[in-house]
């Protein structure tokens, strides 16, 4: 079909497009490689398998936005089909009438699939255009010429395919396939003058249009945010298979700088995240800081870092030391400190980008190298350093809450089955102390063999670590690990999800390996074994709030619900944002000790969500959540609502 000159032009166009794409690919590869090395090549088979499964079935894309996700899936699956169609078109250009797939059933199936997906893809283009440029959903409210360009490319590709196949039917040697139904429809709609004579010029024009747009699309991907089409699957391969939102252990003795002062201090995975971001806004949709009107937008955070990296290319080659500081110069301090580390953004990100790692790096730099942090955290740091608890209350009074309960101290008892890790809130906060007392009474009623550390227990270190003060975290952790080594016990039980996460997932890197249970798991166990008996199911609608560090961080969703179902005799009234999409209470990431200076209080937003269920009580299983909701009820005048911990509900119904 193509003349010799056209074939030469085609080869030249392929070489030009490949050269432009390769040049930009190598430029961005060098930018990613400017970051610190990180080892994410273990269990490679598992990584590749997960990536292939996730990408092919479009699981995270469809999960949060079923309609948009399905249309996105149509485009993805359609392009897999069109890969074969396009290769065949190239072959047809070089040898008229030739088909890579023959002219039988296989080719008919391919044409049928291509026609089906061409129609679905055109519908998808219309849907995404309306969603972004007419409806203008909040997470996509910033106009984007790149998205418009891509939608235009896709539409041209589908229309050019349909009419290429239609005009091909005017050629006498071209066979007609029933499976080519869209092309047949387009052919039937052609004017009689076009149908009656061979239209080789139109066939060639549409062939060139389709092929050149594909080449332009391939180059454009490398230069635009749509690089996520290539970087995203690679990013999925290097996903974190370990602890959720893991904070790397800092070598305080050997490292000269802490955190991430500049862009080159981010890891290569962090920098790959920036090019993997699809700017879909799913992270903003679930971020409690963004949704409550604060400065932080997880999407724009990555966007700022990406543009800074691109703008810094020449500086990286010349004088990397002169790069801007990330904290304050690239990303505002308000954005960095608005984060509650709830990990909702990471849970919904289809590319598995790790937003929190970047925020934590900037916090560590600000706190440990420049002493730049919210003023209120002075109380937190001073209390941890001097008294071993965030409130700075006398360390000797840590066990006072239990004086009238005859709770054994492990130092006096010697060994035990259950070491009850009370935590700082459960020891010092008057509201959270009620949770500790309820759990003790339940364990006593069940005949559990347990003890507490009393004054030997110190803060687990979570508030310090999430606030960027790694030095205080490691100081608290090492003292606790040294204490725990002195005593034999079978398992640790705690009512605090933050303590659970640190003891279970972060202490092992410092030599502390323990079997750690949340109190909801223990309560579920005791009720299932009949070791505690409760009154008949009570009426009254309740809703359950999933604490971030219990749910998203540790995947504990069912035990607390099973407990409540036994107590209430039926299903819960779930909030719209529950389980994996649960909305934060606002206390995480040091939020318990900071003032929310902009937007609404996050705890108030969550309380509104609970109120919409019509429930009379918000049940949680975290002392920090309980404290936040208790204060929010008083601050908003919602005295109709009650907030209780799971242990308090069980204790109330003991028989």
474 lies in the same domain as 508: yes
The answer, yes or no, to whether residue 218 has pLDDT greater than 90, is: yes
Confirm whether 512 is domain-assigned: yes
Give the pLDDT score at 292.
96
Per the structure, the count of domains in the chain is 3
Q: Is residue 252 part of a domain?
A: no
Confidence at 203, pLDDT banded by 50, 70, 90: confident
Q: Are residues 301 and 426 in the same domain?
A: no
Residue 268: Cβ-neighbour burial (10 angstroms; 0-12, 13-18, 19+): middle
| Boundary-marking domain end, from 370, 402, 430 | 370
348 with 476, same domain?
no
My answer on whether 179 and 137 are in the same domain is yes
- Answer yes or no: is 361 within a domain: yes
Query: Does the pLDDT at position 368 exceed 90?
Result: yes
- Domain that includes residue 487, residue range: 381-652
- Cα torsion 216, 218, 224, 227 to 10°: value is 170
Q: pLDDT at residue 196 above 90?
A: no
Q: Are residues 311 and 416 in the same domain?
A: no
Q: Do 389 and 362 share a structural domain?
A: no
Q: Are residues 500 and 476 in the same domain?
A: yes
Q: How confident is the model at residue 25 (pLDDT cuts 50, 70, 90)?
A: very high
Q: What is the mean pLDDT of residues 118-130?
A: 95
Residue 327 lies in a domain: yes
Assigned domain for 255 exists: no
Q: Is the pLDDT of residue 136 over 80?
A: no
What local confidence, expressed as pLDDT, does residue 557 receive?
97
Residues 340 and 430 in one domain: no
Residues 6+ apart with CB under 8 A from 528: 562
Q: Is residue 612 part of a domain?
A: yes
Residue 267: CATH number of its domain: 1.10.1060
Q: Which residue from 528, 501, 530 is spatially nearest to 517, judged by alpha carbons?
A: 501
Look at residue 217 and give its three-state secondary structure: helix
Decide if 251 is inside a domain.
Answer: no
What is the CATH classification number for the domain harbouring 36?
1.20.950
The pLDDT assigned to 539 comes to: 64
Q: Are 503 and 602 in a shared domain?
A: yes
Predicted TM-score (pTM) of this structure? 0.91
Share of the chain above pLDDT 70, in %: 97
Higher-pLDDT residue of 236, 138: 236
3-state secondary structure 320-348: HHHCCCHHHHHECHHHHHHCCCCCHHHHH
Both 86 and 173 in a single domain? yes
Domain contains 250: no
Which of 627, 330, 363 lies closest to 495, judged by CA?
A: 627
| Residues 356 and 460 reside in one and the same domain | no
Query: Does residue 354 sit in the same domain as residue 390?
Result: no
C-beta of residue 592 within 8 angstroms of C-beta of residue 624: yes
Task: Give the sign of the dihedral formed by CA 543, CA 549, CA 552, CA 556.
Answer: negative
Of the candidates 328, 350, 370, which is a domain's last residue? 370
What is the average pLDDT across 268-275? 97
Give pLDDT, residue 195. 63
* Domain end position, chosen among 370, 401, 426: 370
For residue 1, pLDDT beyond 90: no
pLDDT digits (tens, 9 = 90+) for 295-331: 999 999 999 999 999 999 999 988 888 999 999 999 9
Q: Select the more confidently predicted residue: 651 or 134.
A: 651
Q: Between 141 and 611, whose confidence is greater?
A: 611
């Amino acid at each position: 079909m193509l003349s010799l000159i056209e074939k030469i032009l085609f080869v030249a166009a392929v070489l030009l497009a490949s050269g432009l794409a390769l040049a930009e690919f190598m430029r961005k590869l060098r930018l990613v490689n400017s970051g610190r090395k990180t080892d994410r090549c273990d269990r490679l088979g598992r990584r590749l398998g997960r990536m292939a499964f996730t990408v092919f079935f479009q699981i995270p894309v469809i999960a949060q936005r079923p309609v948009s996700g399905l249309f996105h899936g149509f485009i993805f699956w359609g392009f897999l089909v069109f890969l074969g169609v396009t290769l065949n078109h190239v072959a047809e250009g070089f040898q008229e009438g030739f088909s890579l797939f023959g002219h039988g059933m296989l080719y008919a199936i391919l044409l049928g699939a291509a026609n089906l997906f061409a129609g679905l893809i055109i519908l998808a283009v219309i849907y995404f255009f309306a969603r972004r440029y007419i409806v203008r959903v909040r997470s996509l409210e910033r106009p984007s010429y790149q998205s418009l360009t891509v939608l235009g490319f896709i539409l041209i590709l589908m229309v050019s395919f349909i009419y290429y196949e239609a005009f091909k039917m005017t050629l006498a040697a071209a066979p007609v396939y029933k499976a080519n139904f869209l092309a047949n429809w387009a052919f039937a709609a052609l004017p009689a003058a076009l149908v009656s004579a061979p239209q080789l010029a139109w066939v060639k024009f549409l062939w060139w249009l389709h092929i050149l747009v594909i080449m332009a699309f391939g180059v454009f991907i490398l230069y635009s945010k749509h690089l996520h089409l290539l970087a995203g699957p690679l990013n999925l391969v290097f996903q974190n298979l370990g602890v959720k939102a893991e904070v790397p252990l800092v070598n305080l003795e050997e490292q000269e700088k802490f955190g991430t002062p500049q862009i080159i201090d981010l890891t290569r995975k962090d920098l790959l995240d920036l090019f993997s971001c699809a700017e879909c806004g799913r992270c903003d949709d679930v971020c409690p800081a963004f949704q409550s009107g604060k400065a932080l937008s997880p999407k724009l955070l990555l966007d700022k870092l990406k543009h800074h990296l691109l703008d810094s290319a020449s500086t990286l080659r010349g004088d990397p030391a002169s790069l801007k500081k990330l904290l304050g110069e690239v990303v505002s301090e308000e954005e960095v400190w608005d984060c509650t580390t709830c990990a909702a953004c990471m849970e919904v990100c289809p590319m598995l980008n790790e937003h929190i790692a970047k925020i934590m790096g900037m916090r560590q730099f600000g706190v440990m190298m420049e002493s730049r942090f919210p003023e209120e955290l002075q109380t937190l740091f001073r209390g941890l350093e001097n008294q071993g608890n965030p409130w700075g209350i006398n360390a000797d009074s840590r066990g006072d809450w239990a004086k009238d309960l005859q709770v054994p101290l492990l130092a006096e008892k010697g060994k035990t089955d259950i070491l009850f890790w009370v935590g700082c809130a459960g020891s010092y906060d008057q509201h959270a102390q009620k949770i500790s007392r309820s759990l003790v009474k339940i364990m006593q009623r069940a005949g559990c063999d347990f003890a507490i550390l009393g004054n030997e227990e110190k803060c687990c270190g979570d508030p310090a670590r999430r606030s960027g003060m790694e030095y205080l975290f490691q100081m608290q952790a090492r003292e606790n690990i040294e204490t725990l080594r002195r005593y034999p016990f079978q398992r640790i039980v705690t009512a605090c999800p933050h303590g659970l996460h640190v003891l279970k997932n972060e202490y092992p890197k410092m030599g502390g390996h323990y079997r750690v249970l949340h109190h909801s798991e223990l309560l579920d166990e005791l009720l299932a074994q009949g070791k505690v008996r409760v009154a008949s199911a009570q009426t009254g609608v309740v809703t359950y709030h999933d604490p971030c560090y219990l749910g998203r961080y540790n995947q504990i969703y069912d035990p607390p619900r099973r407990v409540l179902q036994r107590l209430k005799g039926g299903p819960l009234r779930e909030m719209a944002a529950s389980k994996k999409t649960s909305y934060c209470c606002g206390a995480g990431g040091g939020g318990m000790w900071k003032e929310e200076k902009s937007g609404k209080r996050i705890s108030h937003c969550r309380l509104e969500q609970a109120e919409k269920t019509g429930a009379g009580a918000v049940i949680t299983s975290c002392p920090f959540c309980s404290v936040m909701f208790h204060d929010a009820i008083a601050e908003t005048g919602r005295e109709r609502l009650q907030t209780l911990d799971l242990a308090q509900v069980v204790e109330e119904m003991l028989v």
